[in-house]
């Protein structure tokens, strides 16, 4: 799977679409923080939506993705502040 995602990422990056390339480069800067925080954010969203009896749909997946990015940016800032990254 790792090889396949890497190949797909390189293929998409080679199309030289500025918006997508900038998104990939931005994601690579916070990828470690995103890796560390994504399961926590996903679990919090699942529990919160379960309490309200809302199903996990594409809308909640998008909300989770946006919150993961926001949390990863915060964690990345914190790591830089204390000198880990």
pLDDT digits (tens, 9 = 90+) for 19-60: 999 998 999 999 999 999 999 998 998 888 888 888 888 888
d(CA 76, CA 81): 9
Q: What is the pLDDT of residue 78?
A: 95
pLDDT of res. 14: 93
Confidence (pLDDT) at 62? 92
Token readout for 17 is 């679409």
Contacts of 81 (CB under 8 A, 6+ apart): none
**What does the pLDDT read at residue 9?**
87
Distant-in-sequence, close-in-space partners of 64: CB < 8 Å, separation ≥ 6: 41, 42, 45
What is the pLDDT at residue 2? 84
Q: What is the per-residue DSSP string for 18-32?
A: HHHHHHHHHHHHSHH
Using an 8 Å Cβ cutoff, are 33 and 79 in contact? yes
pLDDT in tens, 60-83: 889 999 999 999 999 999 999 999
0.85 surpassed by pTM: no
């Amino acid at each position: 799977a790792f090889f396949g995602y890497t190949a797909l990422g390189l293929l998409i990056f080679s199309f030289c679409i500025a918006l997508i390339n900038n998104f990939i480069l931005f994601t690579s800067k916070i990828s470690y923080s995103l890796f560390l925080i994504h399961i926590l954010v996903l679990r919090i969203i699942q529990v919160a939506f379960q309490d309200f009896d809302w199903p996990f749909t594409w809308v909640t997946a998008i909300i989770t993705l946006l919150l993961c990015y926001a949390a990863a940016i915060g964690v990345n800032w914190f790591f830089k502040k204390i000198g880990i990254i």
